[in-house]
Structure 1
């Protein structure tokens, strides 16, 4: 008789709900939890400081709720987040908690989402049992522009989002400021779908299952996940705008000091990479600019198996282990990488990719020279 290991359950989708103070996260969470689509959802709520009032605003829901009360989730309580997620799994596996099939994590208004993403993506056990479904960022139409002007954290929350939910447009001030805010968010993060809360657009169908896989976990939703066409169009528009202003001597008066540091662009190529070349590309990026890689998502064609591309996802210096897809999801067989970065010239990444892919490019360093780069990996990397 052959003993077989028990089959590991599919990873549980986890949605991060973030947004600056007063953006309406708890109100949206209440509305979402009232939907049948969020039945059997585990809710993690982080409180700010020692004043435990946030969770009192959440209506009673059927199921289990964990209230984390150790402070700001972006710094000291990361260990508590790991403990809470691990404890939930232990209770689930031991039958001490009602089965849950989704996790919603509401952060504090001051939270930088990047460390939370690091925790979920880099912890060996959590990365097996949970999968990041998406980052949903709320922006208040009344105060959103002023908040983005004043707080770099708010800009980063918007920049890393998969969905941007604009709230308070039902108020006269919010309605009057919507168009300018929407334009600003589109420039800041063209990859994210923008939704208006007051019209009902911010519903479960629009906010959930916005990762690489749909609810079945089987069909890769690459086009929806990357939204690379929107990113490429926005990048091209930025170039035209910049060239026009430069030619006519106009200053960029409409770009806020925080926004100006953020760039979104796409690198696409028909040429497949060797696994070693792709490892070198990622390692050089991580070591040279890791803290400034706010979000990296992509599908990569590799020379070792051209029929089965690799999906990659990174946040700053942390990259999730690449996942080999069963096949290309559609007729587009190009490598497509979407970058949202802070204080990085896109041409550096574009030229670096051209070099490791051995694609001719103006002023691109020779690929062989990169092999001697001290930042190049000396050992097996992501795909080694």
Structure 2
């Protein structure tokens, strides 16, 4: 296999029960921009593929009229993806250019992402693409307040789609946008059906893309402390204790980073607290480099760092966003500053 650009991107669609994942997936399958796409779902019936069916390869795999390949997940994910890739290489299914996986509504996406990033065979053929999370505008605030799975789904997202926005008033949508931003301040938000979703745009961003500079750029505080998502009176959306402990921490460093010192700090943080670090994503200015380095990871596992050809904005500072559980933002910031001070001595 060639360089990273030759690997097949794997995009993830996740979201809580009833949040519109399958509707989004149907749109992807019908989009000309997503011809030659393989899709992994839990069952064919839920996606209603009969009108698109071109060929059934075997009980678990079908080929659609658009050239897409769709298979059901009846075994462990790693085995299913290896089998799908084998069918591609042997010509049993079309040579798909990308893969989309739809998770179940109650799924914690972290184990799936870990499989993609850690399995040595899969890493040779696939790379993590964009994680898109759907959030139901009618019930999303309650799900975020009461279900840890919903919070994790939002926390790991590269893009968030707010669905059913036509069924609630503007104040409710704005409140949900604020709740999502508390757990993931870097993910762009799209509204459906208010916005006509361009699927190539929605899935264009890779996991190696930089954090959104509009949300972590000039003027941002050095660390964003945890903010509760529900009123303390235990009202309609009373917050589950697990969800209440999750926060987004945004760190900004003005001077170029010493790569070794930063790597030691991050390694020690993940070694000690990896189970409580839901997502790490950053764009870094490294001493001696003119282009930015992008990092991202899930829990203990970090994806190999990549570089961007140029800085996305005029801001040349390092920005790091961590979605954490039960870790105080000031302590994380103090530890990073301490390591960076040692590096310049």
> Same fold judged by TM-score > 0.5?
yes
User: Could you say which residue in structure 2 is the equivalent of 1:155?
Assistant: 151
Q: Does the aligned pair in 2 maintain the 1:231–1:264 contact within 8 Å? A: no
User: Could you say which residue in structure 2 is the equivalent of 1:226?
Assistant: 211
Secondary structure (helix, strand or coil) at the match of 2:72 reads strand
Secondary structure (helix, strand or coil) at the match of 1:170 reads helix
Displacement, 1:256? Answer: 3.0
Displacement, 1:342? Answer: 1.6
For residues 30 and 169 of structure 1, what CA distance do their matches in structure 2 show?
19
11 and 162 in structure 1: CA distance in 2 versus 1, 3 angstrom threshold: same
Count the aligned residue pairs.
323
68 and 174 in structure 1: CA distance in 2 versus 1, 3 angstrom threshold: farther
Q: Does the aligned pair in 2 maintain the 1:266–1:337 contact within 8 Å? A: yes
Larger Rg belongs to: 1
Q: Does the aligned pair in 2 maintain the 1:159–1:262 contact within 8 Å? A: no
Secondary structure (helix, strand or coil) at the match of 2:193 reads helix
What is the TM-score of this pair, normalised by structure 2?
0.82
Q: Does the aligned pair in 1 maintain the 2:225–2:249 contact within 8 Å? A: no
User: Could you say which residue in structure 2 is the equivalent of 1:130?
Assistant: 126
Is 1:116 equivalent to 2:100 in the alignment?
no
User: Could you say which residue in structure 1 is the equivalent of 2:336?
Assistant: 353
User: Could you say which residue in structure 2 is the equivalent of 1:12?
Assistant: 8
For residues 70 and 339 of structure 2, what CA distance do their matches in structure 1 show?
48
Question: Structure 2 residue aligned with 1:66, among 71, 81, 94?
Answer: 71
Q: Does the aligned pair in 1 maintain the 2:17–2:106 contact within 8 Å? A: yes
What is the TM-score of this pair, normalised by structure 1?
0.74
For residues 42 and 196 of structure 2, what CA distance do their matches in structure 1 show?
25
RMSD: 3.1
Q: Does the aligned pair in 1 maintain the 2:225–2:328 contact within 8 Å? A: no
User: Could you say which residue in structure 1 is the equivalent of 2:268?
Assistant: 284
343 and 97 in structure 1: CA distance in 2 versus 1, 3 angstrom threshold: same
199 and 59 in structure 1: CA distance in 2 versus 1, 3 angstrom threshold: farther
Comparing 328-337 with 16-25, greater Cα deviation is found at 328-337
Displacement, 1:152? Answer: 1.1
Q: Does the aligned pair in 1 maintain the 2:225–2:330 contact within 8 Å? A: no
User: Could you say which residue in structure 1 is the equivalent of 2:46?
Assistant: 54
Q: How do 1:310-329 residues align onto structure 2 when only pairs under 5 Å count?
A: 310-325=293-308, 328=311
Question: Structure 2 residue aligned with 1:210, among 198, 202, 205?
Answer: 205
For residues 95 and 23 of structure 1, what CA distance do their matches in structure 2 show?
36
Structure 1: which 5+ runs fail to align?
Answer: 1-5, 71-79, 214-221, 243-249, 359-366, 369-384
Q: Does the aligned pair in 1 maintain the 2:16–2:135 contact within 8 Å? A: yes
Question: Structure 2 residue aligned with 1:199, among 179, 189, 194?
Answer: 194
Q: Does the aligned pair in 2 maintain the 1:18–1:108 contact within 8 Å? A: yes
Displacement, 1:260? Answer: 2.9
Displacement, 1:285? Answer: 0.9
240 and 147 in structure 1: CA distance in 2 versus 1, 3 angstrom threshold: closer
Q: Does the aligned pair in 1 maintain the 2:284–2:293 contact within 8 Å? A: yes
For residues 128 and 354 of structure 1, what CA distance do their matches in structure 2 show?
36
User: Could you say which residue in structure 1 is the equivalent of 2:40?
Assistant: 44
323 and 263 in structure 1: CA distance in 2 versus 1, 3 angstrom threshold: same
Structure 2: which 5+ runs fail to align?
Answer: 53-63
Q: Does the aligned pair in 2 maintain the 1:112–1:153 contact within 8 Å? A: yes
For residues 50 and 187 of structure 2, what CA distance do their matches in structure 1 show?
27
Secondary structure (helix, strand or coil) at the match of 2:145 reads helix
Q: How big is each residue's C-alpha offset from its partner over 1:238-262, in whole Å with a ceiling of 9 and x where there is no partner?
A: 66989xxxxxxx9697983454322
Displacement, 1:174? Answer: 6.7
- Structure number with greater CO (CA < 8 Å, separation at least 6) is 2
User: Could you say which residue in structure 1 is the equivalent of 2:56?
Assistant: none
For residues 154 and 136 of structure 1, what CA distance do their matches in structure 2 show?
13
241 and 302 in structure 1: CA distance in 2 versus 1, 3 angstrom threshold: closer
Comparing 327-336 with 34-43, greater Cα deviation is found at 327-336
Secondary structure (helix, strand or coil) at the match of 1:190 reads coil
